[in-house]
Structure 1
């Protein structure tokens, strides 16, 4: 039970807060779509700042501050039930009795903290106005509730930590990817980005504190988003599972393998429980799983999955072995950059492996290999073989190999191959 005085305090505090200037992000979110805008993503990825950016845009266009109702549900003082959500609107109207709700813009942060929230949002949309923006840190909960209560009324945007182009834009906005004099700086920034990641809060943080902050992010996700949300009693098993997911980044992940490891160590846990954990960790954006490519959705979903932690810096902070393996860190960074661009990706394996194929409208349009070391002869042969097989399978005349800092063009078996530094591929193309 939450008193109306507390709701008024929270609303007043948010109204009086000076909305901070925010970094420009590449994700463009409309303010007048006529739909409920949903921002979904890992904690601390910048969802709230996207809301602040929208609020700044509205204020700049002449919307008064009193018409912007921002409410953060991730507040330990709150104990709201779905039946009490209307109290927020009542508290707001008592604070601003001359302000019509129909003229307001509603910004509800981390709304999944209240069970049954979708009926409240649906009621606002249907009977008050359509200027509704919500955020949440659990993809499965949001998608389930949207599907049941808000079908056809929403547009969902996934929010990730900063892309490399955004990261450079914050730290060194005047760098030119086409300038030879800026190349060394860009390589250094990419190496830093690859090891420290793109969580916005940490861009200007002192290096010695970054690992501690990232480890704390992880602990909050495990405790609040998993143990408390799903009422998991076997916390030690869950923590082990989460760390194995992080440590597997850039490689295959097998529930069976983790099950056998736990069993050999004396843990009592069923395999079905671990499959639930696999769904949970992806739902809270601890990681992304990608499937082996198949025309069949069923075969793709049941295939051996590859795993990528949601932020390469978090992976490096939590798993020492990953932090020391440039190849897996680079592959993780590439996977995340592709996802941040909104790409649908899978991997291809037919004897040899191709790290990523990009799928557009059900058709593979790009094949990408990742090779931190493209000088070693055996590595080069293996990567080229996997890329050529993928290109031939999908009828592609060219393929891409993303390296750390190697450029080369060649042609084999009728396939043009371009090796290019990953930093240049992701930063150069966006400028």
Structure 2
């Protein structure tokens, strides 16, 4: 019986899952078997071929160790492409092998957790964070609270580059936003191969990406795409979410009010901030919405459950800890916080959410403003921390 957990590395294509798995493999001692199930020839493997793989691993182990008892490590890329993979992986693990899997399908996360309950571990990989962006660019990361004015200016410039290009590793390394467009087209082609109408899929994806951080309606998506029914629209949305291209975020204060999950309003967010200009370069830019999308992805990296709040006013994000049922934070995102009208709106929306969930402190993330505000609310005084988003992003270390 394997005494180690089966590891699943989950995230979008081109986010660095294979590279990460290679780094893990380089630190392990034993027999290592790597198979890429994205390869069309490998996808055709049958039961006899899988048995042959096991036999090959056993032979290598026998040659490399005197007693034939060395560890065996399997590394399987894009495991969802192997039909019936669960039973095979289960058998390998019970025989004592250590197993690492990758998948670029979000639906596999729940299936994996359920199938291998108690003996599995999931690592979610996203496009690079700002901290990781600085590392890949070779920058020394100073503590946000100990920055000189010149280093602050330099980091702010780098933040804007990161914000524009997004976090895909090769986009950053090559400073080539056109790669994001290529990735987008690749995923649409996979969707076509899976039976989706590529033009309708593209119309929905482009419309939603160009309206990121906004609510959507099925009726609008029907008109945009030409799909005949809400059910079909939902099927296409499921696919776009399954490949990590889009995320749907529910309105929190409707969760209890609505008896039907499909009736809960939702906002849409993109899987990477750089994809906006790559996919729709001619569309009028909405800096504020992309800025909000950036914060959303950072909250996911921090393993938060993410929602939004709207009653009389709106709060961009309310979050819960990973396994909690209670809202623990409320966050506004503002690119124009210096504008008095915007300032009032953001503070009022945030304090309404703080009152709703019994929180004493809220957060407003800006481009570069910082202060502490003591705000009045119906439940008394609230503390509001105003922080620049790039410093906030550098505060977090996993």
After TM superposition, the score normalised by the length of structure 2 is 0.89
After TM superposition, the score normalised by the length of structure 1 is 0.83
- For 1:163 and 1:299, the matched residues in 2 are separated by 35
Q: CA deviation at 1:102?
A: 6.3
- For 2:249 and 2:161, the matched residues in 1 are separated by 25
Q: CA deviation at 1:211?
A: 2.6
Please give the root-mean-square deviation of Cα atoms over the aligned residues, in Å: 2.3
Q: CA deviation at 1:242?
A: 1.7
Which residue of structure 2 aligns with residue 236 of structure 1?
A: 199
Q: CA deviation at 1:299?
A: 6.0
Q: Say which SS state the counterpart of residue 77 (structure 1) adopts.
A: helix
Which residue of structure 2 aligns with residue 54 of structure 1?
A: 24
1:350-369 aligned within 5 A = 350-360=311-321, 361-369=324-332
Q: Say which SS state the counterpart of residue 42 (structure 2) adopts.
A: coil
Alignment partner of 1:218 is 2:198: no
> For the Cα contact (< 8 Å) 1:112–1:142, is it kept in 2?
no
Alignment partner of 1:160 is 2:121: no
- For 2:55 and 2:284, the matched residues in 1 are separated by 51
Alignment partner of 1:246 is 2:209: yes
> For the Cα contact (< 8 Å) 2:332–2:346, is it kept in 1?
yes
Could you give the per-residue CA deviations for residues 255-300 of structure 1, whole angstroms, max 9, x where no partner exists?
22111334xxxx3532211111111111111111111114639666
Could you give the per-residue CA deviations for residues 88-144 of structure 1, whole angstroms, max 9, x where no partner exists?
223444566525486211111111111211111011012x21411100111214533
Q: Say which SS state the counterpart of residue 251 (structure 2) adopts.
A: coil
Which residue of structure 2 aligns with residue 273 of structure 1?
A: 232
Which residue of structure 2 aligns with residue 320 of structure 1?
A: 281
> For the Cα contact (< 8 Å) 2:61–2:70, is it kept in 1?
no
Q: Say which SS state the counterpart of residue 174 (structure 2) adopts.
A: coil
Distance 1:272 1:309, change over 3 A: same
> For the Cα contact (< 8 Å) 2:131–2:141, is it kept in 1?
no
Alignment partner of 1:144 is 2:111: yes
Unaligned segments of structure 2, at least 5 residues:
none
The count of corresponding residues between Structure 1 and Structure 2 is 382
Q: Say which SS state the counterpart of residue 249 (structure 1) adopts.
A: coil
Could you give the per-residue CA deviations for residues 188-246 of structure 1, whole angstroms, max 9, x where no partner exists?
1111111101111122213xxx232111101111112x222x322x2211111121222
> For the Cα contact (< 8 Å) 2:171–2:177, is it kept in 1?
no
- For 1:408 and 1:321, the matched residues in 2 are separated by 36
- For 2:311 and 2:281, the matched residues in 1 are separated by 31
Which residue of structure 2 aligns with residue 183 of structure 1?
A: 152
Alignment partner of 1:89 is 2:54: yes
> For the Cα contact (< 8 Å) 2:203–2:224, is it kept in 1?
no
> For the Cα contact (< 8 Å) 1:317–1:323, is it kept in 2?
no
Correspondence for 1:309 among 255, 263, 270: 270
1:399-410 aligned within 5 A = 399-410=362-373
Q: Say which SS state the counterpart of residue 78 (structure 1) adopts.
A: helix
> For the Cα contact (< 8 Å) 1:291–1:300, is it kept in 2?
no
Q: CA deviation at 1:325?
A: 1.8
Q: CA deviation at 1:302?
A: 3.8
Which residue of structure 1 aligns with residue 86 of structure 2?
A: 118
Could you give the per-residue CA deviations for residues 67-93 of structure 1, whole angstroms, max 9, x where no partner exists?
122221122333424523333223444
Which residue of structure 1 aligns with residue 98 of structure 2?
A: 131
- For 2:195 and 2:348, the matched residues in 1 are separated by 47
Unaligned segments of structure 1, at least 5 residues:
1-31
